[in-house]
Chain A
C-alpha cells in the first residue's frame, strides 16, 4: 500500500508543480485604430495573474490610467493623476471574457463562444484549414453566426455574421509566439463594418511577452491607494 501511495505521489506531484508554473504573464500592447480617415494610437501593458484570473492593465498613452479586473466582472479604473477611482460591475468585464484568458489557458477551440451560448453547427476543411461555424443563441439581437478558422491548430480568423447575413466584423490572428504551455498571436487585426460605406480597422500588436512563475513588477499586485476618491 505505501508503495502505491508513493507511486501516486511520484506521478501526481510533478503535474501539480507544473501547473503552478508560468502563472504570471505580462505583455505590452500597442493598438492603432483607423476610423473615419484618422488614426488613433493607444499603448498599455497588461499583467495577467493566471492563479487569480486577475488582469491589471497599465494604460500609458495617450493618457495614464490603470484598470483592474477580475473573473467576477468587477472592474476598477484608477487615475493616478487625480487619485480617483471608478468602480464598475458587469459580467462582460470579467477576465474570463478577455481573449488573453483564452489564449493563455489554451481554450482555443471556441474562443469563448460556447460559454456565450453559441452552438457548433458545422465543421469543414478548406485548403488545409479547419472552418467551424457557430450558431448564436436566440438572445443575440445582432449576431446570427460566427465563423472561426483554424490553421495549425490555432485560430487565424473569425467572422461575425449578422441576422441579415452581412459580415459585420472580421478578426485576423497572426504571428503566433510559442511558449511552453500556450501560443499567443502577437498581431490581431479587427475590421468592423460600421455602415455600408465605412469601416474601422483596429490593429493590436503585442510585444515583450514575459512569462514567469512569480509576479514580477509592481502591477501584478497593484493596489489602489486607500485614500483614492471614488467618483463612480
Chain B
C-alpha cells in the first residue's frame, strides 16, 4: 500500500507541465488492486463548489462588539468579509455617513443575531440593503 502512496506522490511532483501524462496515470491505476468497497462516491463532475467554498463561520457577538467600538472605521465589515472599497467608503463618509451606517448595522446585527449569514462576505456598502 505504501508503494502506491509514494508512487502516486512522486508522479505528481515530477509533473512540471500543464498537460496530463495519460500513460503514467493509466499505468498507476492499472497496477493498483481494485477494492470491492467503494472508498469515495463518484459524484458529479468536479467543479469549484467541490472544494471548501463554504463561508467562514463568523460570530455575531464579535461582529457586534467590533461594530460598537470600531464601527466608524468599518472594522466589523472587514471581520464579516467585504470589499476594500467598503472601508474606503466608511472613511470618506466620516465613519459611514457620520456613524449612521454602523449604527444601522448594529441594529440589524441584533435583529438577525441568530443568522448573520446575509452579512457575511457582503460586498455592498449598505450590508442590509
Contact = CB atoms under 8 A, between A and B. Distances in A.
B111 interface: no
A139 B79 CA distance: 10
A137 B121 contact: yes
Contact of B121 (A34, A99, A138): A138
B11 to A, nearest CB: 8
A20 interface: no
A32 B53 CA distance: 25
A44 B42 contact: yes
Given A170-B12, A172-B20, A201-B25, A116 B48 contact: yes
A159 B116 CA distance: 32
Interface string B1-32: 11111101100100100111010011011001
Interface residues of B, number: 45
A57 to B, nearest CB: 7
Interface in A30-48: 31-44, 46
Contact of B32 (A39, A99, A118): A39
A62 interface: yes
Interface stretch (A4-12, A183-191, A210-218): A183-191
Contacts of A156: 18-19
Contacts of B49: 92, 94, 97, 112, 116
A138 B46 contact: no
Contacts, number: 164
Contacts of A112: 47-49
A99 B45 CA distance: 5
Interface stretch (A81-89, A192-200, A219-227): A192-200
Contacts of A43: 42
25 contacts: A29-B45, A32-B29, A35-B40, A36-B5, A38-B35, A39-B29, A59-B42, A62-B36, A92-B53, A92-B54, A97-B48, A97-B49, A99-B44, A99-B46, A100-B45, A111-B48, A112-B49, A116-B53, A142-B51, A143-B53, A149-B18, A156-B19, A170-B12, A198-B9, A203-B26
